[in-house]
Amino acid sequence: MHKADGKGRDGMHRMMNDGLPIKDYQKLTVPQICSHVSELTAAQRSKVRAFEASHKNRKGVMEALSGRLH
């Protein structure tokens, strides 16, 4: 498999992080993600919330993002 085609591990990592404002999002724990929430704009928080809801849907992340969206 070629890494450039998105099928190798590195290619999948790049595809999973595309468009997310938090570097290495998929590797971070809930507390690590929550520590970045205050740095995000409303649009960025919305993007992360949508991604999280459709993937791991972790309660702590969703609560931190929801609390900051209003």
Over residues 42-58, the pLDDT tens digits come to 999 999 999 999 999 99
pTM over 0.75: no
pLDDT of 1 above 60? no
Q: Is 54 left (phi over 0), alpha (psi -120 to 50) or beta?
A: alpha
CA distance 69 to 41: 9
